[in-house]
Structure 1
Amino acid sequence: MDATSFPAAPGPMSRRVRELDWARTPLGPIAAWPASLRVAVEMMLASHFPSCLFWGPERITLYNDAFKPILGAKPEALGRPFDDVWREAWYSIGPIADRAFTGEATFIEDFPLEIDRNGRLERCYFTFCYSPVRDERGEVVGVLDTVIETTAQRVAEQQLRQLTQTLERQVADRTRDRNRLWNLSPDVMLITRLDMTITAANPALGPVLGWSEKELVGTSSLDLVHSDDLSLAWGASHSLMQGETLRDFDCRMRHKDGSYRWISWSSSPGEGHISAIGRDITQERERAETLRQTEELLRQSQKMEAVGQLTGGLAHDFNNLLAGISGSLELLKLRVSQGRTGELDRYISTARTAAERAATLTHRLLAFSRRQALDPKPTNVNRLVAGMQELISRTMGPMIEVEVLSGPELWTVLVDPNQLESALLNICINARDAMPGGGRLSIGTCNHRLVEPRAGELGLAVGEYLSLCVTDTGTGMPEEVIARVFDPFFTTKPAGQGTGLGLSMVYGFARQSGGAVQIASQPGEGTSLYIHLPRHHGEERIEHHTGSEFAPRAERQATVLVVDDESPLRMLIGEVLRDLGYQVLEAVDGASGLALLDSEQRIDLLLADVGLPGGMSGKEMARLARRLRPELRVLFITGYAQNSLFDNEQLESGMEVLAKPFAIESLASRVKGLLQKSVQPRQRSERQGPSARTG
């Protein structure tokens, strides 16, 4: 027989017998085994009954799959002497094995043995049979041990006997314990029928609720429940009637003096009655309510402190900016009345600079609150960082070395690239200020998979993220500063040298983009700030700009409907579009704008504020307008975030958002771009009103 096909029985142990190097055992190579051994091994391995075979003068051990649980965690027994495998119990089973090798078969039931199979001696019981195995000459050459462990059965029998012997004593003890508990328990104990009629009550009823057992037996326990809790109590009693157990059901119960106590009930039905235990939690509820009110006062105090800090910072910065704007306008008016027009550009430039700074401050506040208007695009962060490297190096100055470590095969992210550039520049400026004596600034990118618990600590879902890291060798920050570093208007810089909005803007931008910010820092050891942004499965979108400094004019006759309730802004937008060659219609709210859209008037583009008065928002008006004019292009203008105003949904095709405040060039470019997209390849009626589409 081919050694590779023996043994032929199925199962893991057959495979292990084939794979073992038997030449290193007294049995010798498997190919040289005698027929009697082969037959015995095949029979044993094919059996589903726990079996073990020990063979030859050295009593070498073989066993089947069913025998493995009996060995437990013992060292591998295959190929080892039987007396070595069971050496701790050999004093008991050795004589039996010796008799088997003399030809005596043995059958023993529930034989006790002390064996070590799990790292400790344990008492076990086995029913087994030792059967001599003879060779062709009739000589005993091995023993087949068929065995079944009866430990669990014997232990169960012993436990049953012990339980039987002590049952009456335990019943008596428990009866005494029950009576003692019934009489001494500080909790109310009730026995009721299934209809909640009280049949018994323990003495605690008096101290807790003021009633005696005699006064309540025969009445319904529901009669004591506060009217506001009665519907819940009826539901709980119905569950008990259906056989369900009730835990921690809290309700108010009427005291004999007319007041109410909060009682927490645990109840269970059985044999036609309900047993209930009620604990008085009135003081606990009062303490909890007091604690809740105290915490609410603390939260309100913290909120007012934050609001005070926020409004104080806003008032300071905006008052400065408004002073620059209003002062420039007053001087502008004065110089015009004086005929001194040579200085007008300077005042106009001053006012415009202040307005741009106010817009920047507003964007930073909106970023912190996650309400800034974002324009997310699939972005290659490596390319973005490379494009900013020269600007960052100039900003850092000659005493700070800037290095960029770009991760290979970086994933794409869906972010507003302009806001990401602003965030990166803010981080670098903070790092520069932390290195007044110079140092090294490192900007690195890498792909990163966040798992628990780290993802949960950052408030992110488990998944794939791109990490942008900025590390400096500056002064570092203590824990108390790190805890407040993202608070608006919090700054460690001297007065007048920082608004305290830079990192709060970074935090808000990251959160609004679906990511998170992480800081690692220690005093004197520098700071590392990480922006984690979720991976976007899409290609980078590269936009090409013409670089023109002038607002693009209309390329064809087109009509724009401007809907905004702010008269000055509506007037300015109308003037700009008319100057660029567009026909302009104006409306003050959604209803009047929709009336124009439902008319015969040609309208190519709707330009609407998202927040309109009168109960119809710009979003709702655009939705209704698209029903009337399916190919109408829409440009929303807003100072809030696209993802908050549009429920995190992608805008429909032909719709875009422009954030306030905006430059004339930006407005003109958006309008021209949308109108170019609206040109259809098929012939259309010159009049685009509803009647032209239904004819």
Structure 2
Amino acid sequence: MRGLDWAATPLGPPDRWPPALKTLVGLMLGSHQPMLIVWGPAHTTLYNDGYAEMCGARHPAALGGSFRALWHDIWDEVEPILARAYAGEATHSSDIAFTMHRNGYPEETHFAFGYTPVRDEAGRVAGMFCACIETTEQVKAQRGLRESEARFRNMADHAPVMMWVTDAAGRCTYLNRRWSEFTGQGETEGLGLGWVDAVHPDDRGPTERAFLAASAAGAPFRIEYRLRRADGTYRWAIDAAAPRFGPEGGFVGYVGSVIDIDERREIEDALRASEARFQTIANSIDHMVWSTRADGFHDFYNQRWYEFTGVPAGSTDGEGWNGLFHPDDQERAWAVWRHSLATGEPYHIEYRLRHRSGAWRWVLGRAQPMRAPGGRILRWFGTCTDIHDQIEAREMLARSRESLAREVAQRTAERDRIWQATSDLLCVATLDGRFVSLNPAWTETLGWSEAALMAEPFLAFVHPDDRAATEAAAAGLARGETQFRFENRYRHRDGSYRWLSWNAVPRDGQIFSTVRDVTAARQQAEIQRELEEQLRQSQKMEAVGQLTGGLAHDFNNLLAGITGSLELMQSRMRQGRVADVERYITAAQGAAQRAAALTHRLLAFSRRQTLDPKPTDVNRLVAGMEELIRRTVGPAVAVDVVGAAGLWSTLVDPNQLENALLNLCLNARDAMPDGGRITVETANRWLDERAARMRDLPPGQYLSLCVSDTGTGMTPEVIARAFDPFFTTKPLGQGTGLGLSMIHGFVRQSGGQVRIYSEPDQGTTVCLYLPRHYGAADDVDDGLSSGPVPRAGQGETVLVVDDEPTVRMLVTEVLEDLGYTAIEAADGPSGLKVLQSDVRLDLLVTDVGLPGGMNGRQMADAGRWMRPDLKVLFITGFAENAVLGSGQLEPGMQVMTKPFVIEALASRIRDMIRG
């Protein structure tokens, strides 16, 4: 605003500006936040440096000009807001989008702003004040992040395999929908390391250790384990992941997938069993049997081979048996073998083979290739037959053929029995969408005959909503892509639909599928979800009812004591019987104090109480309370204090921590009606990822304060409800049930956690975990001064701002009794007018929550802008963290919680003014 000829503007020189405009300009120039003032009927525009950056190329020409000229390109959107402000209406908007030309080209912009009318001394609207923030970059960045996240999640949630993502610490941050469908875990249940709970107990430990070791090294991860399905059964799965690296090369986590390989392992097991059977059969045959890989490398000889040749087992693997051929037959035998390998034709040749006796004997060597369905050669199986004795050779050959025929027949029968008896739906289909072969389970599941199912394309039976996805899966199969766990709905003959889960593999122009009816599983999952939702709603309503009933009961009792005492006081004073008034006053004060204590407990439970956190030496605090605890629990209970050497300090409200410790010791005493021992123990705790997760805390350094007893202990059911409001195991009238809930609320509000460890008849340990504070602990205040409160100095004045007349009256009475001049105000704007005047003010005493559009903190900040040394005492019924800054007050500011002792208020006022 410097350098502008203000005399040439409608506002004139600054020394002629109205006081309200001067005040606003002072506030605006002292702030880094973009601010704007529009003044007078000409809408003259004033703004600070922060707002000038938002004006772009229109600054500085817009300064001192009209608001319409500044924002002429968006005037249609802005003019109604300005009109509302000049009409006396304040507005606030967030994330408002404009298309501006402030730099000569159109820009998409976003703003959050508030427009407030400003009145002159006569109460008329003279202008408008605006505080705003440009949020364009944040909105665009958040939009891009959301779009990227949505694209990834859409892709992952539609993937046919289970997918997951972790951070650099190995904590799982995302699991796709397929994981939840397969395992039955909820959307967040598998996050962190919760996914390990779905692994088979025998595989869980090795899997977790392998995963964390790979994550620590940032190395690729691959392991097989058994994974629990939603129906409780376990299936083998392969879990593989590739590491992700950030722009600077640092490991940032994994992207991985989990694939069901149960059928594959079954096939592999079957192949291994088949191989074992083959070797058993081969070793039982009375002639030489061998096999090779597809490349002709020999990898098996039966026992008969070694017996015949006399060579050590394994010495003829590969091509090591050249020396067993007769020199005249060796080249010819290998040429025929190479021809068979090249053409796939059966191997058939006679040659002389050296016997173990050293003699050469004629043998018949034959081999056949084993092929895959597509014709590819997988292996060669061969025999060598001693044909010196033709009869023996023919008999041996006959027995071999008979054995092989039985094996083939047995395997064919086994396959046919599996095809007929399995409950799974097995089928072969063409790539153009027609069934070729179906097992009986299809008719049992869908009611259609095999002929009816094969008469139409299978899409005719698919639910209309699933056809697009089915066509996409079929297109993937046509491209050679295997489809695992693809689900769609097929129409039953009765018109209903069944959910089917497909594992489909394309081979040689056909589709081979294993299909399961998962209708019941999906219905059960839906029923389970509905039951869980009903249970959560029931628990929520039970907690609300318990809280409401307990609160009404206790407060009605306390109010009865207060109102009854006041009525009796009034009656006795009318009768002139003032001797009894003191007793009724004492009763009313006691009930009021108990009501205040109950309110503080409720606020602690809800984590809304006002805390005064200070760096605290917990060992010193416990030592200072040790004698009080011993006197309170009585001589029948022994008290041991075990303080850890070198205990860290913590940032906590020491008074609340003292109350919590005393409450825990009283609970421990009540759990030992026949006496016992209480142990109060402190310790430093370093919680790693696993330990922190068990205590629902972030990893890091903490100190613990634990109270243990040798009492009756708790059952798991009692522990589960111990922190519920108004829950107590004590007889009626002996406890409110708010003690532990208050402790829990206070500790959680302080950034810590509470845990109970107990067993029936084995005692109880309650541990408070509080974050470590890196700094020295404050000295513990031993209490208030017991001396008289000094009176006010000459002319000392206090401004009291509170919307409750009774509170203003009480505070004013205290101030006047001490000789102060008291000025009262009922709301923020009224208090601010006094602060803007020239009257002497030594202290501001204000409530936090005030009417009139300005709370106590805002009023105090505005007052300090004009009176930098102003001292402020906030009085409040509960913590308004947004106003008090989560417990962090500026120097010269203090807070007291309502209700308070009048003497304490007087002492605090005196200390702040004299401090």
TM-score, with structure 2 as normaliser: 0.46
Q: How far has the Cα of 1:418 moved from its partner?
A: 0.9
2:898 to 656, 660, 663: 660
Alignment partner, residue 252 of structure 2: none
2:877 to 601, 614, 639: 639
Which amino acid in structure 2 is aligned with residue 517 of structure 1? V
Structure 1 residues without counterparts, runs of 5 or longer:
1-109, 113-121, 128-156, 158-163, 678-695
Alignment partner, residue 594 of structure 2: 357
Local SS of the residue matching 2:785: coil
Alignment partner, residue 410 of structure 1: 647
Distance 1:169-1:421 versus aligned 2 partners, 3 A rule? same
Contact 2:728–2:737 (CA<8 Å) still a contact in 1?
yes
Alignment partner, residue 686 of structure 1: none
Contact 1:577–1:584 (CA<8 Å) still a contact in 2?
no
**Is residue 656 of structure 2 the alignment partner of residue 424 of structure 1?**
no
Query: For residues 498 and 199 of structure 1, what CA distance do their matches in structure 2 show?
Result: 75
Local SS of the residue matching 1:529: strand
Distance 1:347-1:601 versus aligned 2 partners, 3 A rule? farther
1:573 to 787, 800, 811: 811
Q: How far has the Cα of 1:660 moved from its partner?
A: 2.1
Distance 1:292-1:567 versus aligned 2 partners, 3 A rule? farther
Alignment partner, residue 484 of structure 1: 721
Distance 1:389-1:458 versus aligned 2 partners, 3 A rule? same
Which amino acid in structure 1 is aligned with residue 609 of structure 2? Q
Q: How far has the Cα of 1:412 moved from its partner?
A: 1.1
Q: How far has the Cα of 1:586 moved from its partner?
A: 1.3
- Structure 1, residues 196-233: CA drift from partner, whole Å, max 9, x if none? xx8999988998899989987999x9x9448xx99x99
- Structure 1, residues 120-163: CA drift from partner, whole Å, max 9, x if none? xx989999xxxxxxxxxxxxxxxxxxxxxxxxxxxxx9xxxxxx
1:457 to 683, 690, 694: 694
**Is residue 736 of structure 2 the alignment partner of residue 499 of structure 1?**
yes
Query: For residues 340 and 375 of structure 1, what CA distance do their matches in structure 2 show?
Result: 44
Which fold has the larger relative contact order, with Cα–Cα distance below 8 Å and residues 6 or more apart in sequence?
A: 1
Distance 1:573-1:468 versus aligned 2 partners, 3 A rule? same
Alignment partner, residue 521 of structure 1: 758
Local SS of the residue matching 2:721: coil
Q: How far has the Cα of 1:314 moved from its partner?
A: 2.2
1:585 to 809, 824, 827: 824
Q: How far has the Cα of 1:638 moved from its partner?
A: 3.0
**Is residue 615 of structure 2 the alignment partner of residue 378 of structure 1?**
yes
Query: For residues 734 and 599 of structure 2, what CA distance do their matches in structure 1 show?
Result: 18
Q: How far has the Cα of 1:334 moved from its partner?
A: 1.0
**Is residue 533 of structure 2 the alignment partner of residue 293 of structure 1?**
no
Which amino acid in structure 2 is aligned with residue 637 of structure 1? I
Which amino acid in structure 2 is aligned with residue 419 of structure 1? Q
| Aligned ranges 1:591-606 → 2 under 5 Å | 592-593=829-830, 596=833, 599-600=836-837, 602=839, 605-606=843-844
TM-score, with structure 1 as normaliser: 0.59
| Aligned ranges 1:266-345 → 2 under 5 Å | 284-345=521-582
Query: For residues 394 and 250 of structure 1, what CA distance do their matches in structure 2 show?
Result: 70
- Structure 1, residues 636-688: CA drift from partner, whole Å, max 9, x if none? 333334658757463344443322222223333444444456xxxxxxxxxxx
Distance 1:243-1:475 versus aligned 2 partners, 3 A rule? same
Local SS of the residue matching 1:483: helix
Contact 1:192–1:275 (CA<8 Å) still a contact in 2?
no
Query: For residues 335 and 316 of structure 1, what CA distance do their matches in structure 2 show?
Result: 29
Contact 1:552–1:668 (CA<8 Å) still a contact in 2?
no
Q: How far has the Cα of 1:502 moved from its partner?
A: 2.1
Distance 1:601-1:559 versus aligned 2 partners, 3 A rule? farther
Distance 1:615-1:259 versus aligned 2 partners, 3 A rule? farther
Which amino acid in structure 2 is aligned with residue 665 of structure 1? E
Which amino acid in structure 2 is aligned with residue 587 of structure 1? A
Q: How far has the Cα of 1:269 moved from its partner?
A: 12
Query: For residues 436 and 404 of structure 1, what CA distance do their matches in structure 2 show?
Result: 21
Q: Percent identity?
A: 51
Query: For residues 626 and 240 of structure 1, what CA distance do their matches in structure 2 show?
Result: 74
Contact 2:427–2:435 (CA<8 Å) still a contact in 1?
no
Which amino acid in structure 2 is aligned with residue 568 of structure 1? T
**Is residue 797 of structure 2 the alignment partner of residue 558 of structure 1?**
yes
Moved more, 364-373 or 413-422: 364-373
Which amino acid in structure 1 is aligned with residue 601 of structure 2? R
Which amino acid in structure 2 is aligned with residue 573 of structure 1? V
Alignment partner, residue 689 of structure 1: none
Query: For residues 656 and 479 of structure 1, what CA distance do their matches in structure 2 show?
Result: 43
Distance 1:276-1:648 versus aligned 2 partners, 3 A rule? farther
Q: How far has the Cα of 1:496 moved from its partner?
A: 1.9
Query: For residues 652 and 568 of structure 1, what CA distance do their matches in structure 2 show?
Result: 28
Alignment partner, residue 474 of structure 1: 711
- Structure 1, residues 266-295: CA drift from partner, whole Å, max 9, x if none? 999999x99999988666555434333322
- Structure 1, residues 495-548: CA drift from partner, whole Å, max 9, x if none? 222222222222222222222223333333333332222221111212555513
Moved more, 460-469 or 571-580: 571-580
Distance 1:649-1:546 versus aligned 2 partners, 3 A rule? closer
2:774 to 537, 540, 549: 537
Q: How far has the Cα of 1:470 moved from its partner?
A: 2.3
Q: How far has the Cα of 1:631 moved from its partner?
A: 5.2
Local SS of the residue matching 1:342: helix
Distance 1:235-1:676 versus aligned 2 partners, 3 A rule? farther
Local SS of the residue matching 2:627: helix
Query: For residues 392 and 593 of structure 1, what CA distance do their matches in structure 2 show?
Result: 49
Contact 2:596–2:899 (CA<8 Å) still a contact in 1?
yes
Query: For residues 234 and 577 of structure 1, what CA distance do their matches in structure 2 show?
Result: 84
Which amino acid in structure 2 is aligned with residue 431 of structure 1? A
| Aligned ranges 1:38-437 → 2 under 5 Å | 166-169=370-373, 186=425, 224-225=464-465, 284-437=521-674
